């Protein structure tokens, strides 16, 4: 497997330079995600320039990510813009040579795509997501790229079974899964037995998994239940099982450290890398 990072890139990808790539390699990563804040504005020249800089610096664009309206937005115009953005991002992903295009399922909560809303779990909402993804998958099939959908206990895709149901309903070989175990910690029992949680996730979704996000979490001593992300190695996630099961499912895939400020990334990287070595996984392209 390969070790990548979500971060260490400037907000404006047009500002990426050779020094940016040198910094990513100096941190011990062979790949990074490329996040586009205005996906519909990205041109082929933009994507190919970024690809050339990354290739010259020895860094792979392991995942393309776009900021866009949610695919289940209640406003038809917003939803249409979300679909068009991801359809265009399929071509951008191809031009960039990225490993996959990340898909955020979204929420009906107006405050954010990862916040809860009671209507997220309605059958009509699920049908809307299926319809949107069928349109995006048509573009993915045209451009020959893979889509990596993610789930979360607060999102419409709140369980492994729900994600399998989605993949089956969309019916496209381009739709796969981005594994992020911390997103599925739904309570205290999961938090204190992450090994079982991981086994359930990989048993259901390992065959669809093409990439992963790495992070950690802790429980806080506050009422009622507070689950917070933490630096890898300081939390409760069974990272050894996570890495071992990922390598079984996707030995050529990228695990990307995410949601950390730059000063915390080296600590997280060292912990994840050493845990992987102890678990017997093969880190590709890394000497230490």
CATH number of the domain enclosing 220 = 3.20.20.150
Q: Is 227 among the domain residues? A: yes
pLDDT of 131 reads 98
Q: Is 78 among the domain residues? A: yes
Task: For the chain, list the strands marked E by DSSP.
Answer: 2-5, 31-36, 60-66, 101-103, 147-149, 175-179, 209-214, 216-219, 227-230, 254-257
The confidence band for 288, taking pLDDT boundaries of 50, 70 and 90, is confident
Portion of the chain with pLDDT greater than 90, in percent: 98
**Region for residue 218 given its phi and psi (left: phi exceeds 0; alpha: psi -120 to 50; beta: otherwise):** beta
pLDDT at residue 287 is higher than 90: no
pLDDT of 194 reads 98
**Best CA proximity match to 141, nearest among 166, 164, 165, 175:** 175
Provide the domain limits for residue 195. 2-279
d(CA 212, CA 201): 12
Portion of the chain with pLDDT greater than 70, in percent: 100
* Three-state SS at 109: coil
Q: Is 285 among the domain residues? A: no
d(CA 47, CA 65): 13
| Phi, psi (rounded to 5 degrees) for 51 | -60, -40
Q: Is 284 among the domain residues? A: no
Helix (H) or strand (E) holding 157: none
- pLDDT, tens digit (0-9, with 9 covering 90-100), for 145-202: 999 999 999 999 999 999 999 999 999 999 999 999 999 999 999 999 999 999 999 9
Cα–Cα separations (whole angstroms), residue 144 to 68, 71, 175: 21, 21, 11
pLDDT of 207 reads 98
The confidence band for 84, taking pLDDT boundaries of 50, 70 and 90, is very high
Q: Is 288 among the domain residues? A: no
How, if at all, do strands 227-230 and 216-219 pair?
antiparallel
Q: Is 181 among the domain residues? A: yes
Q: Is 286 among the domain residues? A: no
- pLDDT, tens digit (0-9, with 9 covering 90-100), for 193-232: 999 999 999 999 999 999 999 999 999 999 889 999 999 9
- pLDDT, tens digit (0-9, with 9 covering 90-100), for 14-47: 999 999 999 999 999 999 999 999 999 999 999 9
Mean of the per-residue pLDDT values for the chain?
97
Average pLDDT over residues 62-77: 97
**How many domains does the chain contain in total?**
1
Q: Is 250 among the domain residues? A: yes
pLDDT of 13 reads 98
């Amino acid at each position: 497997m390969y070790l990548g990072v979500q971060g260490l890139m400037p907000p404006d990808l047009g500002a990426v330079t050779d020094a940016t790539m040198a910094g990513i390699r100096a941190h011990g990563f062979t790949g990074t995600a490329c996040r586009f804040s205005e996906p519909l504005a990205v041109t082929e020249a933009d994507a190919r320039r970024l690809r050339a800089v990354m290739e010259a610096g020895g860094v792979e664009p392991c995942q393309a990510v776009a900021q866009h309206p949610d695919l289940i937005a209640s406003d038809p115009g917003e939803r249409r813009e979300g679909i068009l953005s991801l359809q265009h991002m399929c071509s951008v992903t191809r031009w960039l040579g990225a490993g996959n295009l990340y898909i955020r399922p979204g929420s009906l909560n107006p405050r954010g795509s990862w916040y809860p809303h009671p209507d997220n779990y309605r059958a009509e909402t699920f049908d809307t997501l299926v319809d949107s993804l069928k349109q995006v998958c048509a573009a993915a099939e045209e451009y020959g790229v893979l889509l990596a959908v993610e789930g979360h206990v607060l999102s419409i895709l709140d369980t492994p079974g729900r994600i399998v149901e989605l993949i089956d309903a969309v019916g496209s070989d381009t739709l796969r899964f981005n594994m992020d175990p911390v997103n599925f910690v739904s309570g205290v029992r999961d938090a204190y037995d992450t090994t079982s949680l991981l086994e359930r996730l990989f048993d259901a979704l390992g065959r669809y998994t093409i990439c992963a996000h790495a992070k950690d979490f802790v429980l806080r001593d506050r009422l009622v239940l507070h689950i917070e992300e933490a630096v890898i190695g300081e939390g409760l996630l069974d990272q050894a099982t996570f890495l071992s099961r990922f390598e079984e499912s996707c030995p050529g895939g990228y695990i990307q450290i995410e949601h950390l400020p730059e000063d915390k990334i080296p600590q997280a990287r060292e912990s994840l890398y050493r845990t992987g070595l102890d678990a017997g996984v093969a880190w590709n392209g890394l000497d230490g």
